[in-house]
Structure 1
Amino acid sequence: MTRNPGPSRPSSPPRPRPARTAAAGLVVLLLAACGGPAGDPDPDPATTEQESDVALTNPVHDGNLPDPFVLRAEGAWYAYGTQGRLGTMPVLRSDDLVHWEVVGDAMPTLAPWTGAGRHWAPEVVELGGRYVAYYTAMERETQQQCLGVAFADAPTGPFVDEAEQPFVCEHDEGGSIDASPFVAADGTPYLLWKNDGNHVGVRSWIRVQQLAPDGTALVGDAPVDLITHDQPWEGHLVEGPTVVERGGRFHLLYSANDYGSADYGVGWAVADALTGPWTKPLDAPLMRSSPDAAGPGHGCVVTADDGATWYVHHAWPPDAVGAAYPGRQMWLTPLDWDADGTPVLDGPSATVDRLP
């Protein structure tokens, strides 16, 4: 979710599942200094004498960056997040997914339909030769959160939305938030989002609808409902969707429960077609709060250069209160897959036993 929980102390985290990083303290990895991309095996065994100590320590960005989304573009990684001190659409850059530098504000000029503040959860995709950002903002006329679409020639922006009306806004269902573009293996683009039902006391759904090839319009008469909150741990909402197509099936990772508490977590649903039917094989979240981090969720899946998958998400220190609360920071958690295709998402852990 995108509303800022503020400096109040989150509730005590539930008991976590065992994390893969069993050792306390810093887990050290050896990377060949003259090897290929991080995580790839060194093509020349002779260079192992030049190895140096490298470690992945979370959070990978310790500033406030709620609802992070990471894009691979132009030979680098770009991370976007909810509005904060870095601007309306904060953007960071990295060469390795671990070390990040702040670029600035990717959307300095607001769209005509929006009001200042409450710009949330941007996600970016390259369509039709441009970078397309789907984002959530407050509609000035109704004060509801709605979806906008903005365009840029570079991943760092500036993204421009000249529309007089939102791209999507389900006013009768509380508004629309948490847009997530997805391009299927056959090249067809889609948009997932959530109706903000919990905002007005009605049921929230994660939905999907096909996009035009350039991302400028929706295709078809209506979206398709995928999942809702029907498990006890999910509380009164589902949100923050991201889809992975793997092994001929579609995997939906989503967040649920109260974004500002340690009950927030990441769930999983699976389907043979993007439009469903979807099932939730587990009755518990894939990832929940741990002693290292509270409220993990609202992230995206990225594939590193070595083919390994990672879940980029936000979380915050469980014991941080008052002025010590740093906001929701960006974390990197390994996403593994069992032989039967079940995702494994342990943690979040402050140290990770491999690098991207």
Structure 2
Amino acid sequence: MLKHSLGALALAVGTTFAHAANPLFKDIYTADPAALVDNGRVYLYVGRDDAAKDGKDYLMKEWRVYSTCDMKNWTSHGAPLSVQTFKWARADAWASDITKRNGKYYFYSTVDHATIPGKAIGVAVADSPTGPFKDALGRALITNDMTKETDIPWDDIDPAVFIDDDGQAWLYWGNRVLKYAKLKPNMIELDGPIHTQGIDNFTEAAYLHKHKGTYYLSYSREFPEETAYATGPSATGPWTFRGKIMDKNAIVKTIHHAIVDFNGKSYIFYHNDKLPGGGEWWRSAAVEELHYNADGTIRFVPQTAEGPAANPSPGCK
């Protein structure tokens, strides 16, 4: 069994998906994309949807990593993280985010806690964007008993990490209620209290990025979810609702996203139900180019089968 698993991993690592259109990966179901641009390459981190065809819930045990130099040809780097990365977790490789600081890569992820009821957020660290990753704390960074705004056990999910120009790192997360907190420079401890923020019809999947001095807080809105956003003058707002970035999916009710700049262009990753057999528990990652209007608002992004045009990064191999 072990030899078989190692062989499968070896086959997965290094596989290139040539000229990928949407969905990006055709061999497995992938969801909840998180993206990192590092040394002229885009790295994409996705949870694997592995429910049986008669499944009635998410079955997610691992995170897969892919990378590209041109937004068209994607290389698989296998599954360097799983629920077993966190010995205190029992299940559910749910949505994640990643950042780089001081030469190390910090991966924030949602799992189900083994002893504290509800979802929790852990932190893994690696010296490479493709791992190997290890638990940075040996315990959860956020647990469900630390927040009391709702009575649901899944309100501490979907971490998003943002490092501002002054070096201050922030963590955003939540379901139904948006929560955020400062991170210490070590990236594995909270630096102060947990705050909440009222956002128009917020559901989950908060994401923060900055463009030409403006802060953009995007998130999944309503349910079934559409991708919407607000803008503000700082990493904590105040936030002005601006509208919709992407429509709801046809079948799957979620649409978790990430936004990055790469080689002079901007991109939004998301998931939908377009892979054959796709649905609520069988999602597929996709990507589109994202454009800003002259006034700084984000242009509506339609989902396409073609995806963005090739955008080769000089010197990237």
Q: Match of 1:58?
A: 22
Q: Given the alignment, which residue of 299, 314, 336 partners 2:271?
A: 314
Alignment gaps of 5+ in structure 1 = 1-53, 197-203, 232-236
Q: Does 1:347 align with 2:305?
A: no
CA contact (8 A) 2:287 2:308 kept: no
CA distance in 2, matches of 1:94, 1:304: 11
Tell me if 1:224 matches 2:204.
Answer: no
Question: How many pairs does the alignment contain?
Answer: 277
For 2:110 and 2:45, locate their aligned partners in 1 and report how far apart those are by CA, in whole Å: 13
Residue pair 1:68, 1:330 contacting (<8 A) in 2 also:
yes
User: Which gives a bigger RCO, structure 1 or 2 (Cα 8 Å, sep 6+)?
Assistant: 1
Question: What CA deviation, in whole Å up to 9, does each residue of 1:209-238 have, x standing for no partner?
Answer: 111122021111x1232344x44xxxxx52
Paired residues of 1:295 and 1:316 also in contact (CA < 8 A): no
| Shift in alpha-carbon separation, 1:193–1:126, aligned structure 2, 3 A | same
Cα separation, partners in 2 of 1:227 and 1:56, compared to 1, 3 Å: farther
In structure 2, what is the equivalent of residue 124 of structure 1? 98
The match for 2:203 among 218, 238, 246 is 238
Deviation at 1:337, TM superposition (A): 0.7
User: Which residue matches 2:289?
Assistant: 334
Provide the secondary structure at the position in 1 that maps to 2:71: coil
Shift in alpha-carbon separation, 1:290–1:100, aligned structure 2, 3 A: same
Percentage of pairs with the same residue: 24
> 1:207, 1:227 within 8 Å by CA — same for their partners in 2?
no
Distance 1:294 1:55, change over 3 A: farther
Structure 1 residue 114 and structure 2 residue 89: aligned? Answer: yes
Q: Does the CA-based 8 Å contact 2:267-2:290 persist in structure 1?
A: yes
Matched, 1:187 2:167: yes
Question: Quick check: 1:123–1:135 contact (8 Å CA) kept in 2?
Answer: yes
* Structure 2: runs of 5+ lacking an equivalent: 1-17, 51-59, 312-317
What TM-score, normalized by structure 2, do the two folds share? 0.78
1:294 positional shift:
5.8
Distance verdict in 2 for CA 1:325–1:247, change over 3 Å: closer
Matches within 5 A, 1:1-356: 57-62=21-26, 63-84=28-49, 88-108=62-82, 109-115=84-90, 117-161=91-135, 163-171=137-145, 172=148, 173=150, 174=153, 175-194=155-174, 196=175, 204-220=176-192, 222-228=193-199, 230-231=200-201, 237-258=202-223, 263-282=224-243, 285-289=244-248, 297-305=255-263, 307-317=264-274, 321=277, 327-352=282-307, 354-356=309-311
Q: Say if 1:169 and 1:87 are closer, same or farther in 2 by CA, change over 3 A.
A: closer
Relative distance call for 1:95 and 1:166 in structure 2 (3 A) is: same
Change (3 A) 1:214 1:98: farther
Q: Encode CA deviations 1:63-117: one digit per residue, 9 max, x unaligned.
A: 31110111122442221112445952211122222222221111254322211x2
Q: Name whichever of 133-142 and 56-65 sits farther off.
A: 56-65
- What is the CA–CA distance in structure 1 between the aligned matches of 2:86 and 2:73, rounded to whole Å? 32
